[in-house]
Amino acid sequence: MKLRLILGDQLSKNLSSLNDVTADDIILMCEVRAEATYVKHHKKKIAFLFSAMRHFAHDLRSDGLTVHYTTYDDPANAGSLLDEVQRALDRFDITEIIVTEPGEYRLLSQMRAWSDTLGVPVDIRPDDRFLATHTEFENWAAGRKQLRMEYFYREMRRKHDILMDGEKPIGGQWNFDDENLAPPTQGLNIPDPYEQPADDITREVMALVDASFSDHFGDLTPFHYAVTREGALDALDLFINTRLAQFGTFQDAMIQGQPWMFHSHIALYLNCGLLTPSECIRAAERAYHSGDAPLNAVEGFVRQILGWREYVRGVYWLRMPDYRNANFFEATRDLPHFYWDAQTRMNCLRQCVTETRQNAYAHHIQRLMVLGNFALLAALDPAQVNDWYLLVYADAYEWVELPNVHGMVLFADGGVLASKPYAASGAYIKRMSNYCDGCSYNVGQKNGPKACPFNYLYWDFIDRNADKLRGNPRMGLAYNSLDRMTDQKRKAIRDDSVRFFKALDNGENV
């Protein structure tokens, strides 16, 4: 008899560990304390995963398979995956353990020792739900001085024949990002997001989360996420039919009170296995060919999945375990309290933290250019920032979170993933949102107590990291501007930054 372990982010029937399953095998699924609390995950994230796991187990049983499922509140719950596997070995006559490789280096390292620990062969199979294997990415990366996503993306387009006209990209260019930078405009008709009413299983899980994770971050209610494959497919269809056409143009825009904008909100379903990347890509491609969505929108969506998602996974497995310890800027400042309580006079940060707390979601520009931009400018400790992003978002697993935050947000890897730091002043936030309209600070003011902190913190960041960044060819304009500043101007920037950081470090409401 074989024991097949299914993890909480592996809710796919086409999983490699299930491709030869028989009715005689035991499928093990468990809600364990070690995985739910190694960071204090958002309440809504835990509820989503536990409910999705329970629904998936029900579907497997409906297919005639034997599922041994341990709930979080089971008095016999051993508390960790290893101990739950051992408990199954004690109960059943198991000759082999089969598992699809996990998405975290930490867990894979543990599993590689399981065979010796448990005395039973452990078959760790590749996760073939992705469109590039580890070997393919390693071969692409070999010998390259820089690992730039754009060139990897082009190879993936060719390999999978996505938006291609023979050997050339449809539309004559690979990337339409220049058409996807529009600021928000008045009168945008933003469709309602997908909502799936909570059923009995979800309500039971929500009661469990409310009782067992009361000290975790985030709002548990209202809860409307899909927790089944059918619901996830409905969410994908709704995006394709009502949001995709506008997604490209306004994908970077931010509007107060509109957390969903034209984004798809399917990353949490993709990353836990309820959707596959191929079906999402093909659905968008069909919308283009049928005339229901323009090329800039479809290409932008495809690039996020076929390009960026596959690329960050490749970087993660290529560079771990040393990757997470890099700290290029030697940043050490503690994460400010307002990342938890949203109590800040900076309206952009207040809005993004509030929506993250409510939804376990924020779109990529909120994560990168508001929350992440501040973390970069303020030299926040990368380990604390990574833990925060990992726990607050329902789509976050280390393989996708760490490269995005460590490389893209913080530039802590020194340029492995991104060609330059994504630092910006308040002018960017003003251009791409209406957040500045309701702010205590004046985004048009460069210095002084009333000035937008992003304005002087940006130049302080450029100045204090000149020895590390001046040689970066993409930073030339910034340093040319810095060099033209008067001594008086640079002193004002330093004085404002010192004042701000002193208040921040004292826990004041900045």
DSSP state for residue 13 in the 8-state scheme: T
Mean pLDDT of 393-406: 98
| Nearest one of 120, 122, 57 to 93, comparing CA atoms | 120
CATH 1.25.40.80 fits 134-191+243-319, yes or no: yes
Q: What is the pLDDT of residue 48?
A: 98
What is the token pair recorded at 353? 């933290």
Q: Mean pLDDT of all residues in the chain?
A: 97
Mean pLDDT of 144-167: 95
Mean pLDDT of 206-229: 98
Instruction: State pLDDT tens for residues 241-260.
Output: 999 999 999 999 999 999 99
3-state secondary structure of 368: helix
Judged against a pLDDT cut of 90, whether residue 59 lies above it is answered with yes
Judged against a pLDDT cut of 90, whether residue 187 lies above it is answered with no
Please determine whether the domains at 2-125 and 338-505 fall in the same fold group of CATH: no
- Which residues, at least 6 apart from 509, have a Cβ–Cβ distance to it below 8 Å? 343, 344, 345
Helix (H) or strand (E) holding 2: strand 2-5
For 2-125, the fitting CATH number among 3.40.50.620, 3.30.700.30, 3.40.50.150, 3.40.50.12160 is 3.40.50.620
C-beta of residue 358 within 8 angstroms of C-beta of residue 45: no
Band (pLDDT 50/70/90 cuts) for residue 23 is: very high
Q: What is the pLDDT of residue 295?
A: 97
Q: What gap in Å lies between CA 429 and CA 348, rounded to an integer?
A: 8
Q: What gap in Å lies between CA 295 and CA 216, rounded to an integer?
A: 42
Q: What is the pLDDT of residue 172?
A: 95
* φ, ψ for residue 123, nearest 5 deg: -100, 105
Mean pLDDT of 113-130: 97
Helix (H) or strand (E) holding 204: helix 200-212
Judged against a pLDDT cut of 90, whether residue 120 lies above it is answered with yes
What's the distance, CA 88 to chain centroid? 33
Judged against a pLDDT cut of 90, whether residue 180 lies above it is answered with no
Instruction: State pLDDT tens for residues 336-392.
Output: 999 999 999 999 999 999 999 999 999 999 999 999 999 999 999 999 999 999 999
Instruction: State pLDDT tens for residues 288-327.
Output: 999 999 999 999 999 999 999 999 999 999 999 999 999 9
- Half-sphere exposure in the Cβ direction for 253 (13 Å, CA): 24
Question: From residue 243, how far is each of 88, 180, 284, 358 by CA, in Å?
Answer: 46, 14, 11, 22
Q: What is the pLDDT of residue 210?
A: 98
3-state secondary structure of 122: strand
For 338-505, the fitting CATH number among 3.40.50.620, 3.40.50.2300, 1.10.3720.10, 1.10.579.10 is 1.10.579.10
- Which residues, at least 6 apart from 104, have a Cβ–Cβ distance to it below 8 Å? 397, 398, 399
Question: From residue 203, how far is each of 31, 57, 152, 265, 292 by CA, in Å?
Answer: 16, 17, 43, 22, 37
- Half-sphere exposure in the Cβ direction for 431 (13 Å, CA): 10
Q: What is the pLDDT of residue 266?
A: 97
Phi-psi region of 143 (alpha: psi -120 to 50; beta: other; left: phi over 0): left
Domain ranges of the chain: 2-125, 134-191+243-319, 338-505
Instruction: State pLDDT tens for residues 476-498.
Output: 999 999 999 999 999 999 999 99
Q: What is the pLDDT of residue 438?
A: 87
Q: What gap in Å lies between CA 502 and CA 94, rounded to an integer?
A: 60
Percent of the chain predicted with pLDDT > 70: 100
| Residue keyed to tokens 């969410």 | 235
| Residue keyed to tokens 């993933």 | 417
C-beta of residue 39 within 8 angstroms of C-beta of residue 391: yes
Give the global pTM: 0.96
Q: What gap in Å lies between CA 407 and CA 420, rounded to an integer?
A: 10
Q: What gap in Å lies between CA 156 and CA 139, rounded to an integer?
A: 13
3-state secondary structure of 500: helix
3-state SS, one letter per residue, for 284-351: HHHHHHCCCCCHHHHHHHHHHHHHHHHHHHHHHHHHCCHHHHCCCCCCCECCCCHHHHCCCCCHHHHH
What is the token pair recorded at 54? 């329970």
| Residue keyed to tokens 């990368």 | 382
Total residues belonging to the chain: 510
Instruction: Point out the least confidently predicted range of 69-73, 177-181, 429-433, 440-444.
Output: 177-181
Q: What gap in Å lies between CA 220 and CA 48, rounded to an integer?
A: 10
Judged against a pLDDT cut of 90, whether residue 279 lies above it is answered with yes
Question: From residue 292, how far is each of 3, 192, 242, 283, 469 by CA, in Å?
Answer: 46, 19, 10, 11, 44
Band (pLDDT 50/70/90 cuts) for residue 233 is: very high
What is the token pair recorded at 51? 């409910």
Mean pLDDT of 401-417: 97
